[in-house]
């Protein structure tokens, strides 16, 4: 199957590199001198409790936040795919991001009445209304069909987004994010709000999707159960600081997560490489 050539990505060994990044909001330091380097090709989970700074880190990725000037007058640096000067429209082609805030925006007003097909096609020009959708070439349609098939929503093409289940909507938005064949996919707490069966289906879809796309997955989460076996590296975030940055096996220990969540935590790993945790 032939797909349109993706946007040219500058050669880079790092997907995301943060150098002494601090972010203030009013009088609160929400990220505190963060040093982080996520290489291209290394699937990574960023794990932490609510309030740890995960959302702020995500906003750095999408250029909603920029490093603040610290107490000593210095300002940290953020580099994405080897560049610190991305125009936002070009960055959208390099990084697929699916978040709860994006889902909320799509369910507001007329956007929710878009068909699944139109929602996926809208990824080519970042619109949220069918009337402003792109002119689709045969190559673009083929890429959109491939994205829809890879996450199992091709049979929903004519359904309106607002009629879908939460899991179906999430998978539709992932397909939308993949139409450019970006080198990076960022998922922000992707199973939040899903029941047990829907979460299982979503995670299995994620496993099936990864081999079909040449991309680096960054998962932002507070739940161990979302960390799929292909993810081999974990960054633990605690109160705006990096508490750990290393292998999944070392990160997801009972002792380490007990310190992170400040409650006695028991971690289990099943034979298929999935993790779970219980408190007490």
Nearest to 83 by CA among 12, 20, 185: 12
Predicted local confidence at residue 126, as pLDDT? 80
Strands 241-247 and 44-47: unpaired
Give tens-digit pLDDT for 121-154. Answer: 999 888 777 667 788 999 999 999 999 999 999 9
Give the domain 14-279 fold.
Rossmann fold (3.40.50)
Q: Which residues pair with 244 in a beta bridge?
A: 236
Whole-prediction pTM: 0.87
Give tens-digit pLDDT for 34-76. Answer: 999 999 899 999 999 988 999 888 888 878 888 888 778 888 8
Strands 95-98 and 184-188: parallel
The single-letter DSSP state of residue 108 is: S
Strands 241-247 and 265-269: unpaired
The single-letter DSSP state of residue 242 is: E
How far lies 241's CA from each of 36, 146, 190, 260, in Å?
A: 10, 39, 23, 11
Taking the C-alpha atoms of 242, 245, 248 and 251 in order, what is their torsion angle to the nearest 10 degrees? -50
Q: Six-digit token pair at 55?
A: 């959302």
């Amino acid at each position: 199957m032939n797909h349109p050539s993706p946007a040219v990505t500058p050669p880079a060994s790092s997907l995301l590199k943060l150098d002494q990044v601090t972010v203030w909001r009013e009088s609160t330091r929400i990220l505190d001198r963060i040093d982080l380097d996520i290489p291209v090709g290394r699937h990574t989970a960023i794990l932490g409790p609510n309030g740890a700074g995960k959302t702020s880190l995500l906003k750095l990725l999408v250029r909603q936040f920029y490093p603040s000037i610290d107490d000593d007058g210095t300002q940290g640096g953020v580099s994405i795919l080897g560049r610190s000067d991305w125009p936002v429209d070009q960055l959208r082609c390099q990084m697929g991001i699916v978040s709860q805030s994006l889902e909320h925006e799509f369910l507001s007003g007329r956007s929710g009445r878009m068909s699944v097909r139109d929602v996926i096609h809208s990824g080519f020009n970042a619109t949220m209304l069918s009337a402003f959708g792109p002119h689709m070439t045969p190559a673009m349609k083929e890429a959109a069909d491939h994205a829809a098939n890879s996450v199992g929503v091709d049979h929903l093409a004519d359904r309106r987004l607002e009629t879908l289940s939460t899991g179906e909507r999430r998978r539709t938005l992932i397909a939308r994010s993949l139409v450019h064949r970006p080198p990076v996919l960022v998922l922000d707490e992707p199973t939040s709000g899903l029941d047990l069966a829907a979460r299982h289906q979503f995670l299995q879809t994620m496993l099936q999707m990864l081999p079909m796309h040449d991309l680096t997955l960054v998962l932002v989460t507070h739940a161990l159960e979302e960390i799929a076996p292909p993810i081999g590296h974990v960054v633990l975030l605690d109160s705006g600081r990096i508490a750990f940055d290393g292998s999944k096996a070392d990160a997801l220990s009972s002792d380490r997560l007990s310190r992170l969540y400040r409650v006695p935590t028991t971690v289990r790993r099943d034979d298929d490489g999935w993790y779970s945790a219980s408190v007490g």
